[in-house]
Amino acid sequence: MVLTNLLGEVLSVRYIYILSLVILVSVATTASAGYREIFEKEFLSKPWSTDIVAESACIECHTSEVMDEKFRSIPQDWRVSWHAQNNVSCHDCHGGDSEDASMAMSHKRGFTGSPNYTDIPEMCGKCHIGILKNYVESGHGKALIEEGTGPNCITCHGSHNVQKVHIDIINAQLCSKCHPYERAKIMKQALFLTEKKIEKIENDLADLRKQGVYPDREEKNLFNTQAQFRTLFHTIDVTVVKDKTNFFTSQLNSIEDDIKGTFEELSFRKKFSTFLMLIFAGTWAIVTLIIRSKD
């Protein structure tokens, strides 16, 4: 009897229990665990957070106050480049140790510094093997090797601010520096239709991705085709390009057919799901009517 009375009294202040628990825990944690900086350090700065990106030794020096003006602008040029987006940074082209500032420009770590005008194709060709091969045999390549003049890679593509290729890299301003634009124009026309097709397929693939599809095979196929096509361009030989255009067009066409098939499949799925939705909505309506008729 006494126990139940006591229990009753204790239980009647249960809300105070909750409140006291909250206060106790708040005080304890505020006292012991710390403030926003610790939260930021432990939660926001985890490796998977996008806030912190490891800066390489190269970038640290080249963005510092004591660096020469003409070198200081390089990291920001690079940061907006297509290379930067694909994690290709300083040491991938220039060598050196990107993690150790003392060895960042050491020849022992393969540092090559700023290359001469005529050495540039070799530097880019370290990765872009296929293109180097075609370039060296082309009119442009021969002009560079034999006469020391003629365009190298950065003439058309830039050095640190390399962007994704676009057919308008071939333009009157750039190409008429050494010879009449007429030749370049013919080449541009030869490339035009294929490039347009490539662009359309890229847009279709982006569309498919938005619709929840993972068009892995088509994307790889497209990349291979456009890489082969653009590598071929570097022979700067219009007859070769025109010759091979049919081959590339048929490859692109088969990719387009695959994509069309996928769009048709998506459309079928939508129709099927809509049919099911209507059937079930209809069943719902009928059962509701049956209920009404029974009441």
Q: Which of 3, 66, 216, 239 binds other proteins (CB under 8 A)?
A: 216
The one segment of 63-71, 73-81, 155-163, 211-219 that binds other proteins by CB under 8 A:
211-219
Other beta carbons within 10 Å of 123: 21
Closest alpha carbon to 122 in 152, 161, 77: 152
Q: How many angstroms separate the Cα of 183 from the Cα of each of 151, 217, 228, 291?
A: 15, 37, 22, 81
Paired tokens of 27: 């005080």
Q: Which of 22, 80, 101, 145 binds other proteins (CB under 8 A)?
A: 22
Which is nearer to other proteins, 14 or 177 (by Cβ)? Answer: 14
Q: Which of 2, 3, 18, 54 binds other proteins (CB under 8 A)?
A: 18
Q: Exposed (0-12), middle (13-18) or buried (19+): which is 202, by Cβ within 10 Å?
A: middle
Enumerate long-range contacts of 186-189, CB under 8 Å, 24 or more apart: 186/238, 187/233, 187/236, 187/238, 187/241
- How far apart (Å, rounded) are the C-alpha atoms in residues 150 and 177? 10
Query: Least distance in Å: CB of 42 to other proteins?
Result: 7
Question: Going residue by residue from 102 to 141, which x/- string records binding to other proteins, judged by CB under 8 A?
Answer: ------------------------xxxxx--x--------
Measured in degrees and rounded to the nearest 5, phi and psi for residue 228 equal -60, -45
Q: Which of 29, 116, 163, 189 binds other proteins (CB under 8 A)?
A: 29
Which is nearer to other proteins, 116 or 273 (by Cβ)? Answer: 273
Q: Is 50 a binder of other proteins (CB under 8 A)?
A: yes
- How far apart (Å, rounded) are the C-alpha atoms in residues 159 and 114? 11
Other beta carbons within 10 Å of 95: 20
* Amino acid letter for position 83: H
Which is nearer to other proteins, 129 or 145 (by Cβ)? Answer: 129
Q: Which of 165, 213, 238, 240 binds other proteins (CB under 8 A)?
A: 213
Q: Is 242 a binder of other proteins (CB under 8 A)?
A: no
Q: Exposed (0-12), middle (13-18) or buried (19+): which is 47, by Cβ within 10 Å?
A: exposed
Q: Is 7 a binder of other proteins (CB under 8 A)?
A: no
- How far apart (Å, rounded) are the C-alpha atoms in residues 62 and 89? 13
The one segment of 60-68, 160-168, 189-197, 281-289 that binds other proteins by CB under 8 A:
281-289
Site residues for other proteins per CB under 8 A: 14-15, 18, 21-22, 25-26, 29-30, 32-36, 38-39, 42-43, 46, 48-50, 126-130, 133, 209-214, 216, 219-224, 227-228, 231, 269-270, 272-277, 279-284, 286-291, 293-295
